[in-house]
Homo-oligomer: A and B are copies of this chain.
Amino acid sequence: MPTSPVDYARNNRSRYLEMLKELLSIPSISTQSVHNADMQRCAEWLTQTMSSIGLKNTAIYPTPGHPVVYGEWLEAGPNAPTALIYGHYDVQPPDPLELWETPPFEPSVRGDNIYARGATDDKGQLFIHLAAVDALFKTTGALPVNIKFIIEGEEESGGKNLDPFIKSHQDLLAADCALISDTSIVSPEQPSIVYALRGLATLEIEVKSAARDLHSGQYGGAIHNPLLALSQIISAMFDENNRITIPGFYDDVLPLGDEERDLLAALPDTLLQETGARNLWGDPAFTPVERISARPTFEVHGIVGGYTDEGVKTVIPAEATAKISMRLVPNQDPQKIAQRFTDYVNALAPDTVTLKIRQTGLGNGAVIDRNDPSMMAASNAYQAAFRRRPIFTREGGSIPVVAAFQRILDLPVVMMGFGLTDDRLHSPNEKFHLPNFYRGIETSIHFMREYAKLKAA
């Protein structure tokens, strides 16, 4: 009896792990131009790997920013559906480096996990589908469905080049559903499917006062310190209930229905344990789980300016910049919110400083139809691999491409994730849970079979 794809995948776990380690060793940090050559190297690794496992027409498509990687196999027959599998090969910067137990680009297996930058976000998750394709080809010589891979390099840098790429390659990318593994499941024993995502608007506020850095003893008291001015602007963004004060910010936020509130209330609230926070924070009108998933947010990610090295330097910096983002719920328009924010900050700014606001990234939120055949196929696939039916969840994070696939390609988008909430994505010691990696490969194999069946039915 020939080996089944699932058995083959089980027998080849260590080989797939070694391949994943190769991919994780490439520091493909899209936000830092010093890593541009690594980005190219990572794109080449992917096309070579895709070709070697049997995908066709693999190519690196240039964009004005980092390239898009493509590969396909379209020989499943005239009635077979096509799944467009999306992933991203870029990763977050690894700093602060000193907090990593092992170097971020030297993948290290400890216990049940593999530790590296990008392990869960998204290299480990995207590689799952390459391994599934490999196992199917090696054992059956074919795939149950047509497959197209699109793997981008600007997910972590608010990249503006993917939407235009999708728009100008609609024939290339035409499919029946999109499949994305870039989200978390509730636990290793409880798979879950994200059916709603928040959108994102990232901006920078730059405040200038004097023409040069000044000595605080010489000028302190007569110059509006840009770090103070920024602090005043930032703190004015919240009222005493931790609600965002930008006029009109909540206008397009749809009220949470009872069914959704019940669904969210059923999820475990382990936020305190996961984060180690002293107490949770936020708008008391909503539960913490609602706040992190179904409500919009405002965050400061860094404040640049002045003296931040060891010791004391009594400088009034000439300028200071805050990097901020707002997570948005599906009905909020990122462009409109960015404009409202800009108007509000300009209205708040006193005439003692000069202000510049830069938009660095915008992405729409999304809600997915839970009854699409692709969603049902994913549910059956999880059931087969995890022996447990998945639950449906909202995710606080933003995957702008989900809205793009919906809007531009009119596709249902299945977020079939294998991460865990303690994977520390974007943090030091990012990891991927290896049992999820291996079950993920099996889930992907099952998905292709289930989708072929359900779509034909």
Q: Is the interface of A mostly helix, strand, loop or mixed?
A: loop
What is the distance, in angstroms, from A311's C-beta to the closest C-beta of chain B?
3
* Interface residue? A166 (CB, 8 A): no
Docked complex Cα distance between A277 and B351 (Å): 10
Known: A275-B210, A299-B216, A299-B316. A32 touches B231 (CB 8 A): no
Known: A217-B396, A217-B398, A352-B279. A302 touches B308 (CB 8 A): yes
Check A279 against B351 for contact (C-beta < 8 Å): yes
Check A215 against B313 for contact (C-beta < 8 Å): no
Check A427 against B215 for contact (C-beta < 8 Å): yes
- CB proximity to B under 8 Å, residues A1-46: 30-33
* Interface residue? A310 (CB, 8 A): yes
Checking B184, B210, B314 against A426 with a beta-carbon cut-off of 8 angstroms, the contacting residue is B314
Bitwise interface map of A from 183 to 200 toward B, beta carbon under 8 Å scored 1, else 0: 010000000000000101
Query: Which B residues touch A282, using CB under 8 A?
Result: 221-222
- CB proximity to B under 8 Å, residues A89-119: 92-93, 95-96, 99
Query: Which B residues touch A283, using CB under 8 A?
Result: 221
* Interface residue? A443 (CB, 8 A): no
* Interface residue? A254 (CB, 8 A): no
Checking B209, B280, B295 against A277 with a beta-carbon cut-off of 8 angstroms, the contacting residue is B209
Checking B212, B218, B276, B306 against A211 with a beta-carbon cut-off of 8 angstroms, the contacting residue is B276
What is the distance, in angstroms, from A272's C-beta to the closest C-beta of chain B?
9
Bitwise interface map of A from 271 to 303 toward B, beta carbon under 8 Å scored 1, else 0: 100111111111100001001100101011111
For chain A, which range describes its interface: under 10, 10 to 19, 20 to 34, or 35 or more residues? Answer: 35 or more
* Interface residue? A234 (CB, 8 A): yes
**Cross-chain pairs A/B with CB under 8 angstroms, 7 sampled:** A32-B309, A157-B312, A202-B314, A211-B277, A212-B276, A213-B427, A279-B351
* Interface residue? A224 (CB, 8 A): yes
Check A306 against B292 for contact (C-beta < 8 Å): no
Check B327 against A221 for contact (C-beta < 8 Å): yes
Known: A231-B300, A304-B308, A310-B32. A278 touches B219 (CB 8 A): no
Check B216 against A327 for contact (C-beta < 8 Å): yes
* Interface residue? A388 (CB, 8 A): no
Bitwise interface map of A from 213 to 249 toward B, beta carbon under 8 Å scored 1, else 0: 1111111111111011011101110100000000000
Check B217 against A327 for contact (C-beta < 8 Å): yes
Top 3 A-B pairs, shortest CB-CB distance: A211-B276, A217-B397, A31-B311
Check A224 against B309 for contact (C-beta < 8 Å): no
Docked complex Cα distance between A304 and B308 (Å): 6
Query: Which B residues touch A281, using CB under 8 A?
Result: 209, 222-224, 350, 352
